[in-house]
Amino acid sequence: MQISSILDIVDGELLNSPSISFIYSIKTNVSKVKEGDLFIVRNKDDIQTAINNGAFALVLEDNHFITDNEIAWIKVKNINTSIIQLIRFKLAISDLEAYYCDEVTFDLLKIFANNSLKNIVFIPKNIDKLFKQIEDINHDDVIICSNKTILDKIYPNNKSFSNNNSFIKIENLVEHSLFECSFSFNDIYFQKIKIPSIYIKELISVYKFLDYEFDFSKLKSFTNFKPIFLDKSMNLLEFGRSDKFIICQKNIDLVKREISYIKTKYKYAKTLFITSSYLDILEINEQIILDNLENLKSMLKTSSFNAVYLINYNFDDVYDYLQKEEKPLTLF
């Protein structure tokens, strides 16, 4: 790509008269910079490293002493805006399928996409990570993003993945537990699928999109409303082996929906709602504040409960914490 083209795309100001006139690719991670790259500067301390690694051009927000007049120094008003503009330009020449979807559908697609003949590219929320993926995008690829604002900026010609969810008709629903159900869809019977009934439509929409090529055992990687079963000593047990369990939800956008599900489907049991900070969607007296995960076991050992709904904590972090063996007390 020509330096003159980059200046037009990012509405940049060239601070010097470089001897080079083009770049090969764009990087946001200084450790990945190679000869011929354009490097987008967030931290001034990375500038010399990028130059040493062979950068042909730098994009930065502030004036900086020009230490190498051979390469291009490009000043812009806003780094984030410039990143968006560069990505949008690179994608504009492609005729892609692009979809916005909710976070649950996004998670399910990531779990099952490897089984599909479609080449699906998942757009991260962190725009800096996009450039590596963009280099490998082909004209027949499918872009999936859970942030509509980002997708609108980088590829405006997108569609809603979930538009047809309202037409998905689920029949013969049997809820074996909060976490497992059987149901029919299009005259196909799905028996004892390990997913809460609130997320069946998202599952089926992904199932349809991936042309019915599915390995349902992969749902073990789906952590939204996934239970961690415990014995009386707060040790881990296999699925369904206890009447005590923890559900973790880091995504605050899903909390209201899942709490409503618990209160409707599990209203005769005792549920503790534990959170790192007070939430408006629960009454103050319903919430227990936990400011440090390391205190969870001691809190639960002195509490009476069937279910714990743990808010603002990641499933993997909680599972790893509970899996750790407690060190026995010694006299020394």
CA–CA distance, 234 with 228 (Å, rounded to integer): 10
Q: What strand order describes the sheet that includes 236-237?
A: 236-237, 227-230, 244-249, 307-311, 271-275, 287-289
Q: What is the pLDDT of residue 118?
A: 81
Tell me the pLDDT band of 59, cut-offs 50, 70 and 90.
Answer: very high
Tell me the pLDDT band of 331, cut-offs 50, 70 and 90.
Answer: low
**3-state DSSP assignment of residue 260:** helix
For residue 93, pLDDT over 60 is answered with: yes
For residue 327, pLDDT over 60 is answered with: no
**Lowest-pLDDT choice from 75-79, 228-232, 326-330:** 326-330
- pLDDT digit string, tens, across residues 234-258: 999 999 899 999 999 999 999 999 9
Q: What strand order describes the sheet that includes 37-40?
A: 13-14, 72-75, 57-60, 37-40, 25-27
Tell me the pLDDT band of 63, cut-offs 50, 70 and 90.
Answer: confident
For residue 177, pLDDT over 60 is answered with: yes
What domains does the chain contain, in order, with CATH numbers?
A: 3-85 (3.40.1390.10), 94-221 (no CATH), 227-323 (3.40.50)
Q: Which two tokens stand for residue 87?
A: 């990505």
Mean pLDDT to the nearest integer, 174-181: 97
Q: What is the pLDDT of residue 324?
A: 86
Q: Are 106 and 148 in contact (CB under 8 A)?
A: no
Tell me the pLDDT band of 325, cut-offs 50, 70 and 90.
Answer: low
Mean pLDDT to the nearest integer, 194-198: 96
Tell me the pLDDT band of 155, cut-offs 50, 70 and 90.
Answer: very high
Q: What is the pLDDT of residue 115?
A: 73
**Percentage of the chain surpassing pLDDT 70?**
95
Q: What is the pLDDT of residue 326?
A: 52
- The CB-side HSE value for 118 (13 A sphere, CA atoms) comes to 22
How many Cβ atoms sit within 10 Å of the Cβ of residue 289? Answer: 9
Q: Are 101 and 159 in contact (CB under 8 A)?
A: no
| 64 residue type, one letter | H
Q: Name the residue among 225, 288, 291 with its Cα closest to residue 260.
A: 225
Mean pLDDT to the nearest integer, 214-221: 92
Q: What is the pLDDT of residue 116?
A: 77
The continuous run of DSSP H or E covering 322 comes out as helix 315-323
Q: Which two tokens stand for residue 291?
A: 């400011």
- pLDDT digit string, tens, across residues 104-146: 999 999 999 987 778 898 988 777 777 666 767 777 889 999 9
Mean pLDDT of the chain: 91
Q: What is the pLDDT of residue 332?
A: 52
For residue 18, pLDDT over 90 is answered with: yes
Mean pLDDT to the nearest integer, 157-168: 84
For residue 174, pLDDT over 70 is answered with: yes
Q: What is the pLDDT of residue 312?
A: 95
- pLDDT digit string, tens, across residues 266-277: 999 999 999 999
